Amino acid sequence: MDAFYASVEQRDNPEFAGKPVIVGAPPRMGRGRGVVSAASYEARRYGIHSAQPISRAYRLCPNGIFLPVRGKRYVQVSRKIMAIFREYTPLLQAISLDEAFLDMTGTERLFGPAEEAGRSIKAQIWEQEQLTASVGIGINKLIAKIASDLEKPDGFVIVHSDKVESFLAPLPVGKLWGIGKKTEEKLANLGIRTIGELARLSKKTLQDIAGNMGLNLWNHARGIDDSSVISSREAKSISNETTFGKDVTNRERLFETLFILSEKVGYRMRKHEWIGRTVVLKVRFQDFSTLVRHSTLPKPIFMSEAIYSEIYTLFENLTLHQPIRLLGVGMTQLSPAREQQIDLFEEADEKRKKVTQAVDELKDRFGERVIGKGGTIYK
């Protein structure tokens, strides 16, 4: 969707049409501490963009229309739009309230070629909701995502399979998933600024630059992406649990088990390139009573050590009134790292990054039980 929150406000308030609309915490005398959640295209001409301090937006456009975030309203509209998508395919992966991947494979007999279906979807959204959407069509998620961003607002870009290389070549490397600021700076220092220039680098060079992500970058620079459209109904959480053969009271054994479970959950998240914000601890006692505790973090995590750190705190705060028969560790509020352009290892320190990558590679080859990282598991 195009400038979704701001577009909804302009539609709901016709007097705002054609005017700069900024959605975020309304500033008081230009000193608000909030951030811009969305800016209409009229507001963007003043240099206003998402995640910008609202006070700066006020200075750039003091005569703009500053509005609070109406979360419930945007959710209502989003549900209507997602319902339109589901009329065309059940393989729908919502990335946010205003963006989704649709796998149209096998729907040609119903809706015609992908181009025809894409235009039909755009027209239906406009007819039902009076909002514009930008559509990108490609042979995989990577190409479709990049295409959808190129001609906003009201864009429509189709990339045929024989045009992928020429389509990607002139684009800046920052358009690719997994290239964060640090990686972009490293590439710029090597004189690599476009995807075409990136595609000329060898796998080894890219692995030296980006570590475990190097192979992904090599593939993506060539338009190769085998990730599936994962229905939001499929990927709710990742968890592992174990039931003891005999009920346990020994705290060291319990913490060791939680450490191993955290390692398993972290490995699965990295393998499938998920990040998550809520850590879940599950404890079942001898009498089958069960406690579930959650910890929601300000930033998403994926490293096993970070998961275990939260689990350790949650478990420490429990009152253990009887022996334990089952422990479980999980992550919810999941989202794909690549769709948010997060490099799973970019922010990790070099030592942890190398150890984690090495252990993950061994598990990929020999199975999850082959090895685990050591650490302080009980204090």
E strands in 79-119: 92-96, 99-102
Residue 131 structure tokens? 């909002």
pLDDT 10s digits, 11-68: 999 999 999 999 987 655 444 567 898 999 999 999 999 888 888 999 999 999 999 9
- Whether the model pTM is above 0.85: no
Q: Is 310 a catalytic residue?
A: no
Q: Which of 9, 42, 99, 310 is catalytic?
A: 99
- Strands 324-336 and 237-248 come out as antiparallel
* 241-277: burial string, b at 16+ Cβ within 10 Å, e else: eeeeeeebeeeeebbebbbbbbbbbbbbbbeebbbbb
Residues 281 and 300: their CA atoms lie apart, in Å, by: 17
pLDDT 10s digits, 131-148: 999 999 999 999 999 999
Predicted local distance difference test score (pLDDT) of residue 268: 86
Residues 272 and 364: their CA atoms lie apart, in Å, by: 12
Residue 261 structure tokens? 């479970």
Instruction: State yes or no: pLDDT of 281 exceeds 90.
Output: yes
Give the chain's count of helices (H) and strands (E).
15, 11
Least confident of 136-140, 183-187, 321-325: 183-187
* 159-186: burial string, b at 16+ Cβ within 10 Å, e else: beeeebeebbbebebebbbbbbeebbee
Predicted local distance difference test score (pLDDT) of residue 377: 45
Residue 117 structure tokens? 């279906």
On average, the pLDDT of the chain sits at 86
Per-residue CA distances from 188 to 123, 167, 209, 343 (Å): 41, 21, 12, 17
Which of 89-93, 164-168, 319-323 ranks highest by mean pLDDT? Answer: 164-168
In order of start, what are the domains of the chain with their CATH numbers? 4-69 (3.40.1170.60), 237-366 (3.30.1490.100)
Which of 178-187, 194-203, 229-238 ranks highest by mean pLDDT? Answer: 194-203
Instruction: State yes or no: pLDDT of 347 exceeds 50.
Output: no
